[in-house]
Amino acid sequence: MNRLLFGDNLKWLRDPKIFPDASVDLIYLDPPFNSNADYNVLFREASGAASQAQFHAFTDTWNWADAAPTYAEFVDDCPNTAVVEMMDALHDLLETAIVGVRGQGKAGLVLIVDGLDKIAFRELEGGSNTHRRFFINGADKLASLKTHVVYTVPINLAYSPDFAEVSQTFGWTCVPVPMVRLHPCPAPAARKMPAIPGWDESASAAPAASGLKAMEKLLEKRVQAAGLDMKEVFDDLKTVELLCKITGGHPRHLLMFVRAAIGKVNKLPLTRAAVQSAIKEYAQSLGREIPGEFWPWLRHFQKPAIGFPPGLPDHVRQGMLLWLYIFEYTNGQQFYCLNPVIELLPQLHEGHGS
């Protein structure tokens, strides 16, 4: 049956669905009695009489300090029954779906698992964390699906040494989805990296207008999907421009600000005041959460920067990327820039984070 059962022994043994009558040939019990006694191996003389010779065999005293590493290894390696059953069901569903799409003349199926980049980062006992547990310890399960799968991961994990393990498991590297570039790339003369083969420097140095136009187009598509017109939704095109600029080219932030602004008005159109109020609330939340040690490093990214400054602590670098204090731009020459909302915070300009 190859099944591991958690719970009271008698409860499971009395369950006829788990153990039907006459289904067990042998039961071997070797429990930890915890008798708090020492046990020795005893010897006999050649005559059969008891000998004084003996040596210590084991101590039957339970100790958590000795058991903890074994327990942790058990928890990591033991298959979670619910997860195993879920994965089996998913495999069956995918097989059915693949047969269906191929029956329609398609080559195959691509499964996109979005939202995993939002998994909260939390330190765990033993030096691990929630990201490592899910993406690295669980990499074999994630890679076991028999179709093409695209997983989203927290961007800080892509900059972690741990991610090499994920790349080996999946046989593919992490590809950051580029932000919409609203800034000119840093001047080629300031570049600290060699030119990228095939990179069009003239295109990379293009003005931000093309990026703004792309963000506005994205917003327009959403409005049209709702059966509305841009002039019905926004009081002025300047309001649209403000929304697009403050996102720094982050599409999700664009929709976040629109959603927050909708909550500020009783009816359309969205006003500039409503948008500014939504932006202000987000800025205040950032001001409360940004650690004091981050502020000196954030100032480095007030202008687009290629690479990270010398001496930047690894946990600060990963934190700035994970919590979107800085944005990474890879469509063209790779560079980094401050989240524009942080520019509104006085801490950035006061020289301290308090």
Tell me the DSSP string of 134-167.
IIIITHHHHTT-SSEEEE---HHHHTSTTHHHHH
Statement: residue 162 has pLDDT above 50: yes
Chain-wide mean pLDDT for the chain?
Answer: 79
282 vs 149, residue with greater confidence: 282
Share of the chain above pLDDT 90, in %: 31
Q: What is the CA radius of gyration of the chain?
A: 30
Q: How far apart are CA 246 and CA 175, in angstroms?
A: 25
Cα-based angle 328, 332, 336 (whole degrees, multiple of 5) = 25
| pLDDT 10s digits, 213-265 | 999 999 999 999 999 999 999 999 999 999 999 999 999 899 999 999 999 99
| pLDDT 10s digits, 180-189 | 888 776 654 4
Q: How far apart are CA 331 and CA 329, in angstroms?
A: 6
